[in-house]
Chain A
Amino acid sequence: MTAETIIQSLASGLLMGLLYGLIAVGLALIFGLMDVVNFAHGEFLMIAMYATFFLFAYFALDPLLSAPIVAAALFVFGAVVYLLIVRFAVRAKANTGMVQIFSTFGLAVLMRGVAQYFFTPDYRSIPHSWLGGKTISIAGIYLPQPQLVGALIAIAAFAGLYFFIHRTDFGRALEATREDAGAVALVGIDKNKVFALGWGLGAALVGLAGAVMAIFFYVFPDVGASFATIAYVTVALGGFGSVFGAFAGGIVVGLVEAITTLILPPSLKTVGIYGVYLLVVFIRPRGLFGSI
């Protein structure tokens, strides 16, 4: 193992980590806003990847061009999921936690079934896109272009989200609702609207991630499951309720995965991620940046 291979894998780990962060940040946003873990988050990613694939297959639209469209579509989808399902789940008087887990988990199963019904279990991929299969060399380190662009998009999305939360009226309403959902109603903020927009925003972010991932990853009905587990770990590692934590958690997860692949066989690459999660929460039960 030379220094070069180590730097090489750390660099690709960092790129992948930023993408993990992008997948996770929507989850973190929703959790921070209303204490709900979306167990269908992986399936949100899956439909975003399918949308990207079909936009390519039928309209020859490159994933980079379809990314904003997919994000917008997922925004609507997320808001609808909130209005149709989650709104009622958080209102449950008994076992609220379980109802949240199982209604979103049921949605995940449902979405996987729908994907299988309409798209068959076949693996699909986008055979030629602007970035697919290309690499770029920076100072002797080879970086795959799709991941590189994905990482840049992730950084831009984080920056945009930060700006949005701290500089816009809706962002302030979001923060206020998260602080005290009861009090915001008194000042005339519609809690439901804020939550719906929060879900839309969270879904749009994972939609963005899905569009980028469709460039270099197979699309199939179960694709979300593995990424979802990593996303939960990423959020928890960073600390529930912290959007910045999801960003940092993503980077940690990407780097840990890269290091694990250097040491252990590829089939065990997620063991490193899970191990680090356990290590972190056993030492610091609130995650790295969590407040609760």
Chain B
Amino acid sequence: MDKAFIQRRRRDLVLAAFLAAIAAVVPFFVKDVYVQNIMVLTLMYAALSQSWNILSGYCGQISLGHALYFGLGAYTTAILFTKFGVLPWFGMLAGGLISALIAMALGYPCFRLGGHYFVIATIVIAEITLLLFQNWDWAGAALGIDIPVRRDSWLTFQFTRSKLPYFYFALVLACVAWFVTWWLEDSKWGYWWRAVKDNPVAAESLGVDVFNSKMGAAAVSAFLVAIGGSFYAQFVSYIDPESVMGFQFSLLMALPAVLGGIGTLWGPMLGAVILIPLTELTRSFIGGSGRGVDLIVYGGLIVAISLARPQGLVSLFSRKPKPAVQPAREAVAS
């Protein structure tokens, strides 16, 4: 274990704690509900993108169907709550476990597919589930589920008077997703994933269990995304298939990581902090006319950034490492 790497990890952890502490006090100064709403969404997307990044960034299995797990989390919580009166906390856990199991079940056939075949399979599977939910009357079909407000409390995870509890939950979620990534980065799994991403054949020959490491990444990733979905259901208290399982959502989840830097620890966070406020602001200031200017700005930005910074914006912050100190594993990760 070389010193520079340990130092970097320690520095990352301190920086994360520092940033989280700052984020935690921000709502005391920003009382505007609209801005608070954007902050909640930013943290949620940061958490989602961080989770997506585990499978697609670190392990290199690009999924454009992660809305499936988000939707499953949202639906599990909503159905358990409205039909059986199960508290969202249990619904959240159930949604996470169901999603992780389904991710592994789908992994069996899908992880044999390479490149674009895999990407399209993830899109198609999410679309099939979306269509089934749209036609499933018991689950509210295309109209979706209205989550009735019982009372404001942490027990029911419902807050009508203030956005703050949602903010803090989203903050914790983002921290957890970040910490899980940080922790896995230096675990056996982390090394396996990067090896699989780089060259699966070489990894296999060196004794990496390629299939199981993909399965592990899928399960962790899906579990965390589903928690995000559960949170979203409680936050907006209304879900329908298109809004939680649509293809757009899969992309929205991936974009912060792509913008910030795929397969990096800070990329998704940085991407979300830039992209989500930008999306929300363009939508409300110039998108209100319904004339698509927000789409023009948004689309143009995606093109510009992906062409200008293929490594993601996070690369702006990393100094050019001296070749002698640069450990091999960092070269793999970047």
Q: How far, in whole Å, are A116 and B299 apart by their CA atoms in the complex?
A: 13
* A85 CB-CB contact with B under 8 Å: yes
Q: Which residues of chain A come closer than 8 Å to B297, judged between CB atoms? A: 113
> Interface SS of chain A: helix, strand, loop or mixed?
helix
> Interface SS of chain B: helix, strand, loop or mixed?
helix
Task: Please pick, from B299, B307, B334, the residue contacting A109 in the complex, using a CB distance under 8 A.
Answer: B299
Interface stretch, picked from A49-57, A91-99, A151-159, A251-259, is A91-99
Q: Contacts A102-B258, A114-B296 given: A271-B128 contact, CB under 8 Å?
A: yes
Say yes or no: A117 contacts B299, CB within 8 Å: no
Q: Contacts A97-B62, A112-B292 given: A278-B121 contact, CB under 8 Å?
A: yes
Q: List which B287-329 residues lie within 8 A (CB) of chain A.
A: 290-304, 306-307, 310-312
Q: Which residues of chain A come closer than 8 Å to B125, judged between CB atoms? A: 274, 278
Say yes or no: B116 contacts A105, CB within 8 Å: no
CB nearest to A240 among chain B residues? B116
Say yes or no: A281 contacts B121, CB within 8 Å: yes
Q: Which residues of chain A come closer than 8 Å to B302, judged between CB atoms? A: 102-103, 105-106, 109-110
Say yes or no: A113 contacts B131, CB within 8 Å: no
Q: Measured between C-beta atoms, what is the minimum distance from B152 to chain A in Å?
A: 38
Q: Measured between C-beta atoms, what is the minimum distance from A30 to chain B in Å?
A: 12
Say yes or no: A267 contacts B134, CB within 8 Å: yes
Task: Please pick, from A102, A107, A108, A236, the residue contacting B120 in the complex, using a CB distance under 8 A.
Answer: A236
Contact with B along A257-285 (1 / 0, CB 8 A): 00000000101101100110110011001
Q: How far, in whole Å, are A169 and B127 apart by their CA atoms in the complex?
A: 42
Say yes or no: A285 contacts B295, CB within 8 Å: no
* B83 CB-CB contact with A under 8 Å: no
Q: Measured between C-beta atoms, what is the minimum distance from B118 to chain A in Å?
A: 9
Say yes or no: B293 contacts A117, CB within 8 Å: yes
Say yes or no: B120 contacts A233, CB within 8 Å: yes
Task: From B121, B125, B292, B297, name the one whose CB has the most chain A CB atoms within 10 angstroms.
Answer: B292
Residues of chain B having any CB pair with chain A under 8 Å: 62, 64, 109, 112-117, 119-121, 123-125, 127-128, 131-132, 134-135, 247, 251, 255, 258, 262-263, 290-304, 306-307, 310-312, 334
Q: Name 28 interchain pairs, CB-CB below 8 A, sorted by A.
A: A37-B116, A85-B307, A89-B307, A92-B307, A97-B115, A98-B62, A99-B310, A102-B258, A102-B302, A102-B306, A106-B299, A106-B301, A106-B304, A109-B302, A110-B295, A110-B299, A113-B293, A114-B296, A116-B295, A117-B291, A117-B293, A225-B247, A240-B116, A274-B125, A277-B121, A278-B109, A285-B112, A287-B117
